[in-house]
Chain A
Amino acid sequence: MAESKPKPKKEAVPMPKQEPKVRRGNFDEVALGYTEQQALEEASRCLQCPKPQCVTGCPVEVCIPDFIKLLREGKYEEAAMKVKEKNALPAICGRVCPQEEQCQKPCIMGKVGEPVSIGRLERWVADWERCKGVKTPEKAPPTGKQVAVIGAGPAGLTVAADLAKLGHKAVIFEALHLPGGVLVYGIPEFRLPKSIVQAEVDYVKKLGADLCAGYLVGRIYTIPELLKRGFDAVFIGTGAGLPAFMGLPGENLGGIYSANEFLIRVNLMKSFAFPVYDTPIRVGKHVVVIGGGNVAMDSARSALRLGAEEVCIVYRRSREEMPARHEEIENAEEEGILCKFLANPTKFIGDEKGWVKAMECVCMELGPPDESGRRRPVPVKGSEFVMDTDTVIVAVGRTPNPIIQSTTEGLAVTKWGTIVADEDGKTSIEGVYAGGDIVTGEATVISAMGAGKKAAKAIHEYLTRRGNGPKSAMTS
């Protein structure tokens, strides 16, 4: 493709989407993806900066200008390989990364108009490659080293992929019956189709990683036992899987779900297809979702698709403080989700059958900023009001899963229950590394992958430094 020199367009090529009216009735992907023509057009907007700022914004440092250049030259396969040098899960990242906060934020094009849609291009390249058939990159010769990776979420999959490429044997232990972690139990089909997660997991397996699903480390073998049983190192990527509740009266009434329960039912257990799938879900007419993050958006939009007449998000701060991605808030509003800002629930009221029928809230106002830098919401005295509802989804955060911490002696843990690890993921136990939400608390897919990359590098160095391991050390 010859490069002409017209000035790049200020506006990005818009992402084709399902119409809001149509999509609120199905679980199909909302964003349809660029066509080849659209991808080429968007790629042509990249200025190919000599000092690309976008790369610095990417937690896994994908060589963004290089892959975009290959894309626009029509070398799609090479473009895909270029992305995969740094990122084993591009079709996932292209869909769920908050690019507006990362690679696209420092993009020079953003100063004159809209930044280059790097995420959409990454997705297009990854989708093109998947449709055509994925090539497995060359691997280093087997080193004979074995690493146990606990958790098949974004961090674990990244670690396993990177170690496998270096010739180490990675065995991924996943507690749930399907791999993917939050990618399968948390993020809905309409934002991230599960067939794509499966394809990316298959790629990691093709690299040589083994997967052991339905295996809860800590309850079967513990980390010290895994180390004794021949694993040379361990990576912990068990995520932030425990739902937080608010501790309000009536919280255990029927019809009140944690967002985790609601999304696990819908995504992992596919209860939207009940009774073809065995796990049921019940969504009433008036659904209330409490919280302002991506999980709240996902829950609200899922509830709408499951037939709710009205879905209202109740958030204690205002729209500006909402932690959800801007794009997702927009999508939700287009679909008809309502938002009630500056309100906080105080109690739930049940009917005679023990099912929730109403929620009492109090109005909030914003005070001075708190430690998160956002203005702290404070209740307005006497402003209580009642909302009728028959289904409540509590999406106020997730905390670290405690099983590993409580079964691994000598593993340093913070007062929040997260595992203490340094920049490289090194924990207080030699040979044991950790990364992702289990270290940072609830964060993003890509930051977990970034942590995974660093840990994989550190594990590789550790294994190399240790040479032939304890066996030869004993004989030498």
Chain B
Amino acid sequence: MLERYWSITTSLLPFLWKGFLETFYVSLVAIIAGSLIGALIGVVRSQRVPLLTGLFGLYIHVLRGTPFLVQLYVFYFVLPNTGISWLSWDSRTAAFVALSVYTSSYVAEIVKAAIEAVPRGQSEAATALGMSRIQRLWYVVFPQALKLTVPPMSSVYVMIIKSTAILSVVGISELTRQGEVSILRYPRDILFIYGLIAFIYFLYCYPVLRFARWAEHRVGAARTVDLD
């Protein structure tokens, strides 16, 4: 029995490794691209820019109020159907863009909360020194806010890694998809193969979770799941 599982594991490992690399790559792209978009939106929202704040608020609520699976279908089926030529992308681009946009909505709220958590006195003191708004943000507020974003950002990173599994439904060859293909080869060991997949995800996510907890102790508790 054990020998059988061992031989399945060794024969599937190169194949699953390829899937893991894709999972790793997608999650990395999503966290980087999503952080860039999200940081921009978060900063704008913290500054209460008229019109933009409301518009970005809508963006965030739409993305946080719908399941990622549905968003993925919209990016995969609806947008290429609009007739705009640059939106008629392949499944891989659709998946990457969907996950990055989804990520940005969570990052934006983290950045906004971190900026607002820096005591007002800091910004007021900088004003008293004659700094402009940009200078205040760049030299005084951002360096202090950056630290506060570390624990919740690590939690978001774990969430992204787990969300990449959903990309298997549009045929992206990431870890879960590679597992499904492996089952065609070993149909009797479906449970073992999913267990193996779960274990590989665990090896990727658990260190990040531990890091998040460690960072929370250093920086202070992260925001819990909260709608606003």
Q: Do A and B bind each other?
A: no
Residues of B within 8 A of A (CB): none
